[in-house]
Structures are given as structure tokens and as C-alpha cells.
């Protein structure tokens, strides 16, 4: 078993990249993506990780600043003090720290990238995946103009995206879906509410059944399994849980209570690829559909999500879309593109398989710090 004998140093970056167009959900609207990135150095090898946290605690309690603090003051000291880090140890290395899954995922993923490069194999092989092209899915934010939205959907269909996700809120959802289904009656569409509804909206939500949706994602608050179970009993449309699922115990609770029929597997929210694999296996054994969610990642985070989707158990198209949908330029040299059938080619090479463009990182960085392991 390949091991890392010592982490020589760690480099932390925060970059701020403009989006091609504003992205709006029921929680907020953004024009730039701010990202925390980690580079771990060991001898001649380096591993990269990306944190899924936002600048604010609206989607999740972690933020870029809390993740930076936790990484610098707790996670990296554990790494620096650990001799002979083995693959089988990584999942438990940070278990002494409660929560902070997004910070943990960034560090764990950087370690996986580092180990797979040292073993001279692609990441998907290190985690037990099977080489294949990956299904694509696009997430479209809330638009003020219905014609703009219909145009984006038409463009997505032409690109052969396997699934279209629409961000919604309860102000104009039914009218919106009526317009969409008139124009695109058979397109695979799901909606994501980011917790904008409550059980008081039950009769309203029942109307969603007439639109033949793949699912409604996270209709209620993140911490309410019981009310989601009441909703799923009343809906034919599958309920998908996202923010509610932060660990294996959450998945077990949701499945036992029948709170959902689908789970959004976001490795950044679940503490990294190894914890995610455990949850994915549990869902598969219990016949729960799953897909890989995204957080508007750069090419580093997208590469991890692509390798993750080589694992057995993913049954639905994920959130992985073309790089050009969100960024004018990326920090890796291999942008995500769709082939003629809407699939995405897995990055080639060892580790995550993409080359980092340091020059682009330096252009957009707003913070940098290097920590040496003395």
C-alpha cells in the first residue's frame, strides 16, 4: 500500500472568478465564485483540493473563512504530525473534529490526489471506480424573464444535456412550470427549492405532480426529516434531499423514515470521496436513486466529481456541466466539454487528471498562505 511519509508544506489560496452570467437561487444571487483551494506538497508530488463552501452560511453553515481557519489550525496540524499516512487511514484521520465536512473534504481530496499521483494511477482507480463517460446535467438559476429561461432550456437540449435542473421559489413556480411544459413537454426536468417551502404549502406542492418532474429537491428545511416524510407520502413526484444529508446517519434516517426517494450526493458536503462512497453504497443497497451534486466548482472540484461518478451506485445524471456554462476561463487546462451525445470524457492522467494553470490562479487570487511542516 502506497503511503505518504511526510507532508512538506501546504499552500492555501482564495480565488475570486467572475461568472459568465449571474446565478440566482431562492437563497441568493451571485456574480462571482469565490473558492478556497489547497495544494499539498510531498517530495516531488503535489495534490490539489477544492473547498465547496461559499462566502456566506446560507446553503451550509461552513463558509470559506471558517474552512480556512479549521484547515490551518486543526486539519493541517494533524496531517503535519502524522507519520506514514496510508489510504485506509484518511477516512478516520480527522474524526476527532466535529463537523466541518467541507474543510475535511478539501484536505482529504488533496491527499487522494497526492496518493494516486504517487501510485501513478488515475483517481477513479484508487477509489474503486470504473472508467466510463459521465452523464451531464445543467443547473439553471432563477430568471426574471421567462423567455430568457426558455432560451437557456432550448440551448441545453440542443447540447444534449441528460437532465436540466431549475432553481425555483414559491413566488412563481406553477406559472413557470406551466410555461416550460407547454414548450418542452418531454424534457427531463427537475426543480430545486433550496428549502423555500414548508408543510403549509402542501396543497400547493401537490400541483407539481402534473408536470412529470424527475424530482423536487430539498423543498423543506435542511433539518426536518419528519415533514419531508409527510410530503413524500402525498406526492407522486420523488422528493430528493440535499442539504439534509451530511453523513451516513442522516441517509439512514431519511431512508428509514421514507423522507425521500432520491439523495443528492455532494462529496464536498459529505466530507470527501471516501465518506461519500460509504453513503453511496448504503443508498444502493436500499434502492435509493442517487446523483452527484455540484457547487459551481472550478476545474479542480469538477474533476473530483467526475472521478466520483465512476463508482457503482449513481443512477441519475449529476450536476456536472460544461465549464463554459459558468466560467470564461478556468484554472485547469482541460475544460469540461460535452460530446455529441451529451457525455463528458473522464480526465486522463494520474490523480485527478487535470493540469493546474498557476498563472490563472495568481490572476484571481485574493489570499495566499504557505505553511511549512518543520
167 is catalytic: yes
Per the residue annotation, which of 33, 261, 266, 277 is the catalytic one?
266
- Whether 266 is a known active-site residue: answer yes
Cα 157–chain centre separation: 22
Q: What are phi and psi of 82, to 5 degrees?
A: -90, 125
- Residues contacting 60, CB < 8 A, separation 6+: 52, 53, 54, 102, 243, 269
Residues shown for the chain: 374
Q: If you ran DSSP here, which 8-state letter would residue 338 be given?
A: B
In the chain the beta strands, taken as DSSP E runs, fall at 3-4, 9-24, 29-42, 45-50, 85-86, 138-140, 164-167, 189-192, 216-217, 239-241, 262-265, 289-292, 365-372
The dihedrals phi and psi of 214, each to the nearest 5 degrees, come to -60, -35
Run of H or E residues at 251: helix 248-256
Write the burial class of residue 339 (CB in 10 Å: 0-12 exposed, 13-18 middle, 19+ buried): exposed
Which residue in the list 39, 118, 143, 167 is annotated as catalytic? 167
Report the first-to-last Cα separation within the chain, whole angstroms. Answer: 26
List residues with catalytic annotation.
Answer: 167, 266
Amino acid at each position: 500500500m502506497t503511503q505518504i511519509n511526510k507532508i512538506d508544506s501546504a499552500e492555501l489560496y482564495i480565488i475570486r472568478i467572475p461568472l459568465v452570467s449571474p446565478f440566482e437561487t431562492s437563497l441568493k444571487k451571485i456574480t462571482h465564485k469565490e473558492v478556497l483551494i489547497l495544494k499539498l506538497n510531498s517530495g516531488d508530488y503535489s495534490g490539489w483540493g477544492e473547498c465547496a463552501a461559499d462566502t456566506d452560511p446560507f446553503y451550509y453553515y461552513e463558509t470559506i473563512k471558517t474552512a480556512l481557519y479549521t484547515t490551518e489550525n486543526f486539519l493541517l496540524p494533524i496531517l503535519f504530525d502524522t507519520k506514514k499516512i496510508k489510504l485506509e487511514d484518511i477516512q478516520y484521520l480527522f474524526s476527532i473534529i466535529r463537523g466541518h465536512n467541507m474543510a475535511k473534504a478539501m484536505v482529504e481530496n488533496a491527499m487522494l490526489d497526492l496518493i494516486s499521483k504517487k501510485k501513478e494511477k488515475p483517481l477513479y482507480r484508487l477509489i474503486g471506480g470504473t472508467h466510463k463517460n459521465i452523464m451531464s446535467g445543467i443547473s439553471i438559476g432563477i430568471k426574471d424573464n421567462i423567455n430568457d429561461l426558455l432560451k437557456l432550456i432550448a440551448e441545453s437540449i440542443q447540447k444534449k444535456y441528460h437532465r436540466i435542473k431549475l432553481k425555483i421559489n414559491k413566488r412563481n413556480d406553477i406559472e413557470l412550470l406551466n410555461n416550460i411544459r407547454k414548450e418542452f413537454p418531454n424534457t427531463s426536468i427537475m426543480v430545486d427549492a433550496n428549502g423555500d417551502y414548508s408543510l403549509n404549502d402542501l396543497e400547493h406542492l401537490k400541483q407539481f405532480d402534473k408536470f412529470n418532474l424527475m424530482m423536487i429537491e430539498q423543498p423543506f428545511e435542511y433539518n426536518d426529516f419528519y415533514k419531508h416524510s409527510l410530503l413524500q407520502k402525498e406526492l407522486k413526484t420523488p422528493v430528493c434531499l440535499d442539504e439534509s444529508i451530511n453523513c451516513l446517519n442522516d441517509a439512514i434516517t431519511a431512508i428509514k423514515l421514507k423522507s425521500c426517494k432520491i439523495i443528492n450526493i455532494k462529496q464536498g458536503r459529505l466530507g470527501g470521496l471516501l465518506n461519500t462512497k460509504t453513503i453511496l453504497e448504503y443508498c444502493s443497497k436500499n434502492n435509493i436513486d442517487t446523483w452527484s451534486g455540484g457547487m459551481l466548482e472550478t476545474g479542480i472540484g469538477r474533476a473530483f466529481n467526475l472521478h466520483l461518478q465512476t463508482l457503482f451506485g449513481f443512477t441519475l445524471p449529476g450536476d456536472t456541466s460544461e465549464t463554459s456554462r459558468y466560467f470564461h476561463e478556468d484554472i485547469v487546462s482541460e475544460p469540461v466539454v460535452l460530446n455529441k451525445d451529451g457525455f463528458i470524457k473522464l480526465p486522463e492522467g494520474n490523480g485527478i487528471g487535470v493540469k493546474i494553470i498557476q498563472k490563472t490562479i495568481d490572476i484571481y487570487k485574493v489570499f495566499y498562505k504557505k505553511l511549512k511542516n518543520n
